[in-house]
Amino acid sequence: MDTAPARKIRVVVVDDSALIRSVLTEIINTAGDMEVVATAADPLIARERIREHDPDVITLDVEMPRMDGIEFLRRLMRLRPTPVVMISSLTAQGSSVALEALSLGAVDVMPKPAFDLRNGLQGYAEDIRERLRGAARARVRPAAPRVTGSQPLPPPHRRLPPPSLIAIGASTGGTEAIRGVLEGLPAVGPPIVIVQHMPALFTRTFAARLDRLCPMQVKEAEDGEVLRPGWAYLAPGGATHMAMRTTLQGWCVVLQPTPPVNRHRPAVDVLFDAVAREAGRRCVAVLLTGMGKDGAQGMLHLRQAGAYTLAQDEATSVVYGMPREAVVLGAVDEELPLEMIAPRIRTLLVGGTR
């Protein structure tokens, strides 16, 4: 019996650079499961192309004539929510604008090379295609839910002492999910270590944004620094993994330039494995929205070491990939909506007993 071929992911490319439109079209159309159905040089043209072609995903530049990408995204998410992958220059200003786009509902960001655009984009063609595949499966929301802590929670599944460390991993959709969790936690609590899949300069900007918005102090982690209560440490993007080790002064950050794991560097699995070894049952671990399986195996090791493990549920995940993989492995104590994760952690901080 003949079966119909799978429907291709339909992409609209929006960028004022004819070269970038051409290169992205070539990258996308060489994949067997996706195709560019239209391109546009500015948002006003894009508006007509989107109406005409009803795409699954849109790639969107930030700086464009007649209307900038941020304003177009704001209108798009209000009137016709569609998964968007932002393209932003690897500059401090570009990173800041990209993070604003994520807060407005963009699914992901990818860097635009500063030089040699054709070869630069071709150099991470498969990464671009993977981001588009993830975006095509995303649940689009204008913003992550604000954490209120008002919903009732059942008792935690296991008795355990108050944790001394919180470990968080996330990928696609994770910037707003991480913000949502951190905003609901106390200003003074155990150190928090975080891996979010992002390009290098983006993590520095993201840490600064979290530091402005969240009760605790947040910074990009540095090799060798001792973890302190009341602080959250975000793994630097790009060149290193983040792990930790025990010293006479306490737990300290280890940044190591070893090969990518699960195609990522930093990888959630590397952090979670280190936390399992060094902290074990003194940790609460959280796996948030993201494409792929990074973090699932590490979360299993954490649970086996006695840590209490939480995963974001399917209904509130932008991409229910990483949490699902952890659930399938039996690595998760509780699967919770995003808005209930911070309240659960707060109950665990005061003892977590029935």
CA geometry: angle 96, 190, 268, nearest 5 deg: 55
Instruction: Extract the runs of DSSP E, i.e. beta strands, from 75-191.
Output: 84-89, 108-112, 165-170
Q: In what order do the strands lie in the sheet with 165-170?
A: 217-220, 231-234, 192-196, 165-170, 283-287, 308-312, 334-336
Whether the CB-CB separation of 109 and 84 falls below 8 Å is answered with no
CA dihedral 310, 314, 317, 321 (to 10 degrees): 80
User: Which residue in the list 197, 241, 264, 301 is annotated as catalytic?
Assistant: 197
CA 95 to chain centre: 14
Residue 226, number of CB atoms within 10 A of its CB: 13
Tokens 């990464």 belong to residue: 127
Helix (H, G, I), strand (E, B) or coil at 274: helix
**Does 197 participate in catalysis according to the annotation?**
yes
Tokens 């936690």 belong to residue: 185
**Does 301 participate in catalysis according to the annotation?**
no
**DSSP bridge pairs for 310:** 286, 334
User: Which residue in the list 56, 269, 273, 294 is annotated as catalytic?
Assistant: 294
Whether the CB-CB separation of 20 and 147 falls below 8 Å is answered with no
User: Which residue in the list 88, 89, 171, 317 is annotated as catalytic?
Assistant: 171
Residue 112, number of CB atoms within 10 A of its CB: 21
Active site residues: 171, 197, 294
